[in-house]
Amino acid sequence: MEPVERAVILKEELDALRPISKEQELRIMQKFRLDWNYHSNRIEGNSLTYGETKALILFGLTAQGKPLKDHIEIEGHNKAIEWILDIVKGDYPLTESFIREIHTLLLKESYTVDAITAEGLPTKKRVEIGKYKNQPNHVLTNTGEIFRFAAPEETPAMMGELVDWYRQRMNSTSVNPILLAAEFHYKFIRIHPFDDGNGRTARILMNFILMQFNYPPVIIKTEEKQQYFAALRQADSGIFEPFLNFIAANLVQSLDLMIRGAKGENIEDPGDFDKELALLEKRLLSKKPRIEKNSELILKLYDNSIQPLFNAFFEQSRKFEKFYNTLDYSFVANNYSSDDMPDAISEYRQKVNERTSFLTIVFLFKHFKYTHDKNFDFHSSVSVLMAENTFTVTSTANIYKIEKTYHDMLSSSEIGEIIGSELKRHKDYIESHTDVS
């Protein structure tokens, strides 16, 4: 059975169970709201885990070591969801003002982000909340091609046309809500009307349309991110059915969850228990007495976190050595420095004590080989800063930052994320400074 047909049948089954008791409805919608907040933001790069997202939304607890921006994103997204859950109960029209209001709630405050020019060059732009873009927001694809959205001067007219198209379809006697919601999502993304937040806004608007027809919201999970983007790329090529089926298949999952909830059955995902356990552990750890650093703790940290991190960073970063004429690297700790790598990392172990306050490994790649008209260098570093009760790991210019107590060590996945962020930044930098299309 095709996903759209399956969704329609499940909707009929759900309607037969209505009205759902207030208690069950609140339980179901809280589950949707938490999943929606976590996955929609995670798809866009938010670092908060499911447990941290839940702790922030339900208890106002912030995640130690996670960027403030990530907390602001979750809070704004949750406000936007709460607003549409409230107004969808009435006869609230979908207008351009409505769309801009969602964007305002979603982003909360204006900020500056990295961007590329129409020529593919790196630049900066100011993201203004609730306002259409005033600069191009094209993106660089994996193949090196620039994918172009609507130009800023085209955007107001195209958004007016989109809303008019929606009203005509909405008022049609033969309207298919699933097709309408999926098409609106895609048309909105093709315009990309805002400087940032377009993906999250598109998913909110799609779900608002579905909920107008008494469907539950679609939750596009982080694990399906690549499938989601691939379906959008197929739609860009004129093949829309895979995207429609992708949205419908996820709607089937939401309908199944809502039916189980309406029957009073368990609605938690199999992995939710692990997420709850992780949240419990985090809350228990926050109750532990604060530990001040001492020589024994710092040595343990060095053996189990710092040395593995620095050794891995040294080995992985050297993969870029072949692209440059010269490579300088050094290990720095307090008043100690050495370019005898990687031996310096292991040798410094004898000097670690409670007075050790920072350690850094620095790479300077000089004179890129493969350009004739311009030459450039690249700086990359990972640092560990040790305060009295916590230690902080940062990459170049705090692009990646994580803070932990001395109760904790870096996990292998955290080490991978730190190094991976620097390697990706280096690769992206080379691509932005060369013609590799």
Q: What is the pLDDT of residues 5-61, one digit of tens each?
A: 999 999 999 999 999 999 999 999 999 999 999 999 999 999 999 989 999 999 999
The percent of residues above 70 in pLDDT, for the chain, comes to 89
Instruction: Find the catalytic residue in 192, 372, 379, 426.
Output: 192
Residues 6+ apart with CB under 8 A from 323: 365, 368, 369, 370, 430
Q: What is the pLDDT of residues 194-233, one digit of tens each?
A: 999 999 999 999 999 999 999 999 999 998 999 999 999 8
Binding residues for ATP: 196-203
The rounded distance, in Å, linking the Cα atoms of 309 and 391 is: 14
Structural contact between residues 293 and 406, judged by C-beta atoms closer than 8 angstroms: yes
* Exposure on the CB side of residue 209, measured as CA atoms within 13 A: 27
Predicted TM-score (pTM) above 0.75: no
The rounded distance, in Å, linking the Cα atoms of 156 and 78 is: 27
Structural contact between residues 132 and 163, judged by C-beta atoms closer than 8 angstroms: no
pLDDT at 417: 86
pLDDT at 302: 93
Of residues 44 and 287, which shows the higher confidence score? 44
Using left for φ > 0, alpha for ψ between -120 and 50, and beta otherwise, residue 120 falls in: left
Query: Is residue 291 over pLDDT 90?
Result: no
Query: In angstroms, how far is CA 96 from the centroid of its own chain?
Result: 26
How many other β-carbons are positioned within 10 Å of the β-carbon of residue 236?
A: 14
CA dist 305 → 296, 299, 384 (Å): 14, 10, 10
What tokens were used for 401? 């930052």
Structural contact between residues 391 and 297, judged by C-beta atoms closer than 8 angstroms: no
The rounded distance, in Å, linking the Cα atoms of 182 and 307 is: 49
Query: In angstroms, how far is CA 192 from the centroid of its own chain?
Result: 18
Query: Is residue 437 over pLDDT 60?
Result: no
Burial class from Cβ neighbours inside 10 Å (0-12, 13-18, 19+) for residue 248 reads buried
Q: What is the pLDDT of residues 57-88, one digit of tens each?
A: 999 999 888 999 999 999 999 999 999 999 99
Query: Looking at beta carbons, which pairs linking 33-38 to residues 24 or more positions away fall under 8 Å?
Result: 33/57, 33/78, 33/81, 33/82, 33/85, 34/58, 35/219, 35/221, 36/81, 36/207, 36/217, 36/219, 37/74, 37/77, 37/78, 37/81, 38/222
Q: What is the pLDDT of residues 343-364, one digit of tens each?
A: 999 999 999 988 898 899 999 9
Question: 192 an active-site residue?
Answer: yes
